[in-house]
Structure 1
Amino acid sequence: MHPGESSKRAAPPALSSGGSIDALPDGVLEHIVGFVPAPEAVQTCVLARRWRYLWRSAPGLRVGWLGDGPGLHLGWPGDEEQASPPVKEHRELVDRLLLLRGGSPLDTCDIRLGEFQDDDVPRVNFWVWHAISCKVRQFMLSIHWHSYLKLDDLPLVSQHLTRLELRGVWVDSSFLDFSSCPALEYLDLLHCDLSTVKNISSYSLKHLSITQSRFPDDFDQFMFTGVLETRNRTCIYAPNLVSLRLDGLENLTPRLVSMPSLVEASVRITDDCGDYCVMLSEPDITDCLCELCDSSRGGTGYSCVLFQSLSKAKSLLLTCNTSDTLPQILFKWDLRWCPVFSMLKTLVLNEYWCVPDDANLLLRILEHSPVLEELTLELFSEGPNYEVEMKGSINQMDRSAKISEYLNIVKIKCQIVDESVLNVLEPLRTFGICFGF
């Protein structure tokens, strides 16, 4: 009980058409204060005697930069680095605020800061674990700086955490073992260092997004031994996952393990990916170590990385850079295992799948999608704003028996219909798919 308070809170006067905010119940006012950045939330204590301690019980704690968006939620504003204050500017405020709040339960904790010093790392870790101890349901931590802030390698234990969003941090396997977080459903990792993570596991997780983050690679092992005998991939085990996004990952793409509940997934492979074959760009190299191409000497790389776990999805987006310098071969490798996408109805691909002299790549994924209804090809352009969108027609007389009988929508999206696009469209005619122009 705070000084000056009676054992029972007086009921606020009933709201009238001309009533003020003071007429609202304390619980409603605490909820409102929870949406206000921490410094302003504390300042509400001077409004009136009744407001003096409301901020201490507010269910929301928001520190640092706050934009107009709803948080990470699969995408941050692009220039937050300019607006994120250094950790040192909030040290005293947050330390004192947490001390005065005590163990009051938190619904949301959103911390977004920039530059940090070495002695800030244990302080920020204390803030994280304090929020967890306050039964926080939604926790967001964003560090906008040129280096990653290291989080303690301790397992999260929370019966209440439902959403976890991290940016600009370095975490290890123990932190990403969510076996003691039975309520966790949303995990969003952006610009994180996961290079020492062996496993990410959760039985409760339903929505996972990992973008522009660093995973393990084999470079150090190769430099030490001269031989690549293993693939040091992170394994992701989330059997109840419903949606998945992997975008712009660095080094080895993580291996997906058993996702029978998956409904939609998006995988975008860029030049940062470590699953490329040097032999395809350097003809003079005769001894390949990628473990994925035809010339590989093998190792533990011989198993499906993505497609086996994606095979139950109803909607897939699979795109890959077509760089000649670092030819990516992960999708080609996974297709060797010929998984059947038995529930796939919507498929989005890019020009990687439509190389004229390798049209069997597109054919192979189509013939393993027996119930596919809609195919979209996004060609030679970064979406989502395309200048040209064409809809093809399927000639039933010429329709290939190898593609889904349910396929009735084929779309092409591009910036301009040039020779490159026309070369892609030509193989589609062999499937009975035509475009009139």
Structure 2
Amino acid sequence: MMDALPDGVLGHILGFLLAPEAVRTCVLARRWCQLWRFTTGLRVGCRHEDERAPVKEHREFLDHLLLRGGSALDFCEFGFTEFQDDDEPRVNLWFRHTIMCRVRVLKLHIFSMCYLELDDLPLVSQHLTRLDLHGVVLHSSFLNFSSCPALEHLELVECGFLTANKISSKSLKHLSLTNCFLDVFSHVYIYTPLVSLRLDDLQGMTPILDIVPSLVKTFVRITEECEDVCAKLLHPEILDCVCQWCVSSKNIDGSGSSVLLRGLSQAKSLVLISELDKVVFKSDLRWCPVFNNLKALFLNDYWCTPDDFNALVCILEHSPVLEKLTLELFCEGPKYKIEMKGSFNLRERSAKISEHLSIVEVKCQDVDERVLKVLKFLPTINICFGVLIEAL
């Protein structure tokens, strides 16, 4: 049955096997002797961190395999759990060689306690469309993707930014940074025509985003690892603050002071989550932009404290076309037990809040005193609730 398939189809099928398994097919029959050379996919090492795949066990195999010749690669995946100091140059060589093979999707995952450092050289590829990196250290030149005009997806997980202060691309549409280690003294600037953005659990200074007119969907979660600090916001009695966006600094008119909200102002869907003691959003709200395209907004309890609810009111008043508001209050973890659904009272609507707001959801684990304070406040801005639903 397999023998009836053309060589191109068989080469594509072999790409779903780990590379050593694909090479072993050469013993099946004379026709299979050279098929592995023309596979369009290459998978080496492990797919998950619970598998064992040290670099040293793949050295000889990969050194020979990458000289195989044959067709260009649609995708290439490297996954390693251990490496030695002398493995770094070799992994960098393999990585760059796949770029020369006109690879379209490239993944390099290092599941180790140590970070593998990638060379401080720009990537040059007319074919690369997606790049996924896990557990590597990156430099400024590497994150300049001006020579990768087809690159649209960039996903970085547990990566370190050693000397990098900018991510720039004229083609990048989808960017995800998760649990990455950024500089604690200066911000990383993002200059890309994004459609979607995810910033989740970053350590160090929060990246600064340029205004992105094409932005549709954004997820931002500020955790305790965030190093952005404004002494004056935390302690109003302090007269001078050295942070670059505080009113006590030179940016007293707010120009150039926004870290995130100004850059997110054109998004259609926003998820904004923060630990209670973090100042990034609180600082940005003093020069809050107008979210002219925002239709769906998800906020956590950070936006409902303190009890004056100034942060919540501010962002609602700056969202003139908002249709759906979701508040997830005082939930530990991603699961909630109770969901309440309400709506905006059009008869008594506030002139400052979107007349399009038709869906309001409140999710929580328990209706405790903190949640009750929020529920008592919402009617003051004409949001009413009628249905209580136990979530599954």
* TM-score where L is the length of structure 1: 0.84
Q: Structure 1 pair 131/86, CA: closer, same or farther in 2 (3 Å)?
A: same
Letter of the 1:53 partner, please give it: Q
**Is the CA contact (8 Å cut-off) linking 1:351 and 1:424 kept in structure 2?**
no
| CA-to-aligned-CA distance 1:278-318 (integer Å, 9 cap, x gap) | 56667997754444455668699952121122111110000
Question: Which of the residues 267, 273, 279 maps onto 1:319?
Answer: 273
Aligned counterpart, 1:85: 53
Q: Structure 1 pair 63/346, CA: closer, same or farther in 2 (3 Å)?
A: same
**Is the CA contact (8 Å cut-off) linking 1:87 and 1:116 kept in structure 2?**
yes
Q: Tell me how far 1:123 sits from its aligned partner.
A: 0.3
Letter of the 2:288 partner, please give it: C
Aligned counterpart, 1:215: 182
Paired residues, number: 386
Aligned-partner SS, 1:216:
coil
Aligned counterpart, 2:361: 411
Tell me whether 1:95 sits opposite 2:48 in the alignment.
no
Letter of the 2:221 partner, please give it: R
Tell me whether 1:233 sits opposite 2:187 in the alignment.
yes
Q: Structure 1 pair 317/181, CA: closer, same or farther in 2 (3 Å)?
A: same
Tell me whether 1:152 sits opposite 2:119 in the alignment.
yes
Aligned counterpart, 1:76: none
Tell me whether 1:188 sits opposite 2:141 in the alignment.
no
Q: Distance in 2 between matches of 1:56 and 1:316?
A: 46
**Is the CA contact (8 Å cut-off) linking 1:288 and 1:297 kept in structure 2?**
no
Q: Distance in 2 between matches of 1:261 and 1:285?
A: 40
Q: Tell me how far 1:357 sits from its aligned partner.
A: 2.7
Q: Distance in 1 between matches of 2:204 and 2:375?
A: 32
Aligned counterpart, 2:301: 351
Aligned counterpart, 2:290: 340
Residues 107-122 of structure 1 correspond to what in structure 2 (within 5 A)?
107-122=74-89
Q: Structure 1 pair 38/119, CA: closer, same or farther in 2 (3 Å)?
A: same
Aligned-partner SS, 1:357:
coil
Q: Distance in 2 between matches of 1:258 and 1:294?
A: 21
Tell me whether 1:433 sits opposite 2:387 in the alignment.
no
Q: Distance in 2 between matches of 1:283 and 1:430?
A: 28
| CA-to-aligned-CA distance 1:119-167 (integer Å, 9 cap, x gap) | 0000000000000000000000000111210001111100000000000
Letter of the 1:129 partner, please give it: R
Tell me whether 1:422 sits opposite 2:366 in the alignment.
no
Identify the structure with the greater strand proportion: 2
> 5+ unaligned residues in a row in structure 2: which ranges?
none
**Is the CA contact (8 Å cut-off) linking 2:206 and 2:227 kept in structure 1?**
yes
| CA-to-aligned-CA distance 1:193-244 (integer Å, 9 cap, x gap) | 01421111111111111111011122xxxxxxxxxxxxx21111002x1111
Q: Tell me how far 1:424 sits from its aligned partner.
A: 2.1
Residues 345-424 of structure 1 correspond to what in structure 2 (within 5 A)?
345-382=295-332, 384-424=334-374
Residues 237-256 of structure 1 correspond to what in structure 2 (within 5 A)?
237-239=191-193, 241-256=194-209
**Is the CA contact (8 Å cut-off) linking 2:132 and 2:155 kept in structure 1?**
yes
Question: Which of the residues 251, 264, 287 maps onto 2:217?
Answer: 264
RMSD: 2.1
Aligned-partner SS, 1:85:
coil
Q: Distance in 2 between matches of 1:129 and 1:302?
A: 37
Q: Distance in 2 between matches of 1:50 and 1:93?
A: 22
Q: Distance in 1 between matches of 2:231 and 2:265?
A: 29
Q: Distance in 1 between matches of 2:180 and 2:206?
A: 10
| CA-to-aligned-CA distance 1:325-384 (integer Å, 9 cap, x gap) | xx2111111122221100000000000000143411110000000000000001111454
Q: Tell me how far 1:392 sits from its aligned partner.
A: 1.2
Q: Structure 1 pair 257/283, CA: closer, same or farther in 2 (3 Å)?
A: closer
Identity rate, percent: 60
Q: Distance in 1 between matches of 2:216 and 2:62?
A: 40
Q: Structure 1 pair 136/162, CA: closer, same or farther in 2 (3 Å)?
A: same
| CA-to-aligned-CA distance 1:408-427 (integer Å, 9 cap, x gap) | 10001111211121122222
Question: Which of the residues 28, 31, 44 maps onto 2:12?
Answer: 31
Q: Tell me how far 1:258 sits from its aligned partner.
A: 2.9
Q: Distance in 1 between matches of 2:136 and 2:15?
A: 25
Question: Which of the residues 41, 60, 85 maps onto 1:60?
Answer: 41
Q: Distance in 2 between matches of 1:244 and 1:273?
A: 18
| More displaced stretch, 374-383 vs 173-182 | 374-383
Q: Structure 1 pair 183/395, CA: closer, same or farther in 2 (3 Å)?
A: same
Aligned-partner SS, 2:160:
coil
**Is the CA contact (8 Å cut-off) linking 1:316 and 1:347 kept in structure 2?**
yes
Q: Structure 1 pair 357/292, CA: closer, same or farther in 2 (3 Å)?
A: farther
**Is the CA contact (8 Å cut-off) linking 1:289 and 1:297 kept in structure 2?**
no
> 5+ unaligned residues in a row in structure 1: which ranges?
1-19, 67-79, 219-231
Aligned counterpart, 1:222: none
**Is the CA contact (8 Å cut-off) linking 1:291 and 1:301 kept in structure 2?**
no
Letter of the 1:188 partner, please give it: E
